[in-house]
Amino acid sequence: MKTLLQIKSSLNGDNGQSSFLSNQFANKWLAENPDGRIIERDLSTTPVPHLDGERFNAFLTSPDKRTPREQAIVDFSDELINEIKSATVVSIGLPMYNFGIPSTLKAYFDHIARSGITFRYTSEGPVGLIEDKPVHILAARGGHYAGTQADSQTGYMNAFLGFIGLHDVNFIYAEGLATGGDERELALNKAQDQITKAVAA
């Protein structure tokens, strides 16, 4: 069964512009794949805990030596990893906060980056262990950043996703959303047109 993993990271929930675009993508994808299923991971309503020493050490502890609490931490991480592994396609709603990605999304990434499970190191460098699949990033920004030095998101997202094996990454930008007037509407309309094309491809 075709499966879309829909990740939303706006702190405004469904009121955020990146979530609006994310929902547009999901609705169009489901229309194209009526027999498919959507796994929604909304990091505003169900945030992933930020990585701390306890959680990191739980990942490193061998299964036979984990406490019940450590096993619960690993089980949660495994659930997130299994979601992304089972997906046919992934969409990520990505707002820009203070030139970076939301901390909730970083926490999510910290729980799916597991040595020996989603990546491994070799003498020739790291190798991603997740089977490649399309990842569509719906980037909503108040200003204009794409192609400038202030855009820290694009390089980071490509680097992290490639690190775990996901190289088929497509960015759909909606920029200038805080400028008001017609520019905001034009940017959202352009992004929705790109979403339609991406889903149909």
- Does residue 61 form part of some domain? no
- Does residue 63 form part of some domain? no
- Does residue 136 form part of some domain? yes
Per-residue pLDDT of the chain (201 residues; tens, 9 = 90+): 999 999 999 999 999 999 999 999 999 999 999 999 999 999 999 999 999 999 999 999 999 999 999 999 999 999 999 999 999 999 999 999 999 999 999 999 999 999 999 999 999 999 999 999 999 999 999 999 999 999 999 999 999 999 999 999 999 999 999 987 789 999 999 999 999 999 998
In which domain, by residue range, is 194 found?
3-48+81-200
15 marked among binding-site residues: no
- Does residue 28 form part of some domain? yes
- Does residue 21 form part of some domain? yes
157 marked among binding-site residues: no
CATH number at residue 131: 3.40.50.360
Tokens of 21: 């675009």
- Nearest 5°: phi and psi at 41? -125, 95
10 marked among binding-site residues: yes
- Does residue 168 form part of some domain? yes
Q: Other CB atoms closer than 10 Å to residue 100's CB: what's the count?
A: 12
Spell out where the chain has E strands. 3-8, 37-42, 89-95, 119-122, 125-128, 135-140, 169-174
- Does residue 55 form part of some domain? no
Q: How many domains does the chain have?
A: 1
99 marked among binding-site residues: yes
97 marked among binding-site residues: yes
- The whole-number pLDDT of residue 181 equals 75
- Does residue 33 form part of some domain? yes
